[in-house]
Structure 1
C-alpha cells in the first residue's frame, strides 16, 4: 500500500511543528484563523496572527499581540531591509514563518505590539 503525502499536508505539519516550538521555547501562540484582532495604528491595520503568553515581569502572561517584521513595517511606515524595531523594549522572538511571496519557510522576528506602538510614536515626532 502506497501512502501519498500532499504538499498541503507537509505545510500543515510544518506549521504545527513551528507552533509547538514557539510555545515550548518562547511561550508564543498562533492565533486561530479568524480569531485574531485587527490592530490599527495611524492609517494602517493588520490582522493579529500571534500573541505572547510569556511572563516577562513576574505579573503573569503578557497577552500582547505579536507582529511579524512585515506587519511592523506596514504599521510604522518604515520599509527597509533592517529590523523595523531596532531597539525593542521586549526582545523580539525569532521563528520560522511561511513566506508566501517566496513559497518557503523563512526566519522572521515577532515584535510585541507595545514596541511597534513606541516605534510609531517615535517616528511621528
Structure 2
C-alpha cells in the first residue's frame, strides 16, 4: 500500500518547519491568523504575520516583523531594491511562501521601527 501525500500537506509541513527555524535561529514567532494587526504608513497598509521575541538588551522585543515585500509596499517601492539599507536591528533571514512564484523564497524580516524610521527619513 502506498501513502498519498497532498500538496497542501507538504506546504503546511514546510510552513511549520520555517516557523520552528525562525524561532530557533532568530527568536521570531509567527502570528496566529486572527491575532494580527494592520500596520499603516502613509497610504500603504500591511497585515502583521511575524513578531520578534528576541532580547536586544532591553527585555523581550515584541515588535512586529515585516517581510521585504511588506516593507517595500509601505515605503512605496515596488522594485527588488533593498527597502531598509541601514536597519538598527539585523533582519531575520527566513524562507517565505511566495504566491506570485508558487514556491518558497529566501526573504528578510525587518522590525517595524526600522521601516517607520526609513519612512520618516524619506518624508524629509
Structure 1 length-normalised TM: 0.96
Distance 2:12 2:80 in 1: 28
Distance 2:74 2:54 in 1: 24
Gap regions ≥5 residues in structure 2: none
- 1:109 counterpart SS class: strand
Distance 2:77 2:123 in 1: 11
Match of 1:56 in 2: 56
**Cα drift, residue 77 of structure 1:** 1.0
Number of residue pairs aligned between Structure 1 and Structure 2:
124
1:72-105 Cα deviation digits (max 9, x unpaired): 0111112322210011011111100000000000
Distance 2:37 2:53 in 1: 16
**Cα drift, residue 20 of structure 1:** 0.2
- Hey, which bits of structure 1, 4+ residues long, moved more than 2 A? none
Match of 2:101 in 1: 102
Distance 1:116 1:37 in 2: 16
Distance 1:78 1:4 in 2: 42
Distance 2:95 2:34 in 1: 21
- 1:122 counterpart SS class: helix
CA RMSD of aligned residues (A): 0.8
Match of 1:34 in 2: 34
- 1:34 counterpart SS class: helix
Match of 2:122 in 1: 123
Gap regions ≥5 residues in structure 1: none
1:38-89 Cα deviation digits (max 9, x unpaired): 11111111100000000011x2110000000110011111232221001101
Structure 2 length-normalised TM: 0.97
Distance 2:38 2:81 in 1: 25
Distance 2:73 2:18 in 1: 24
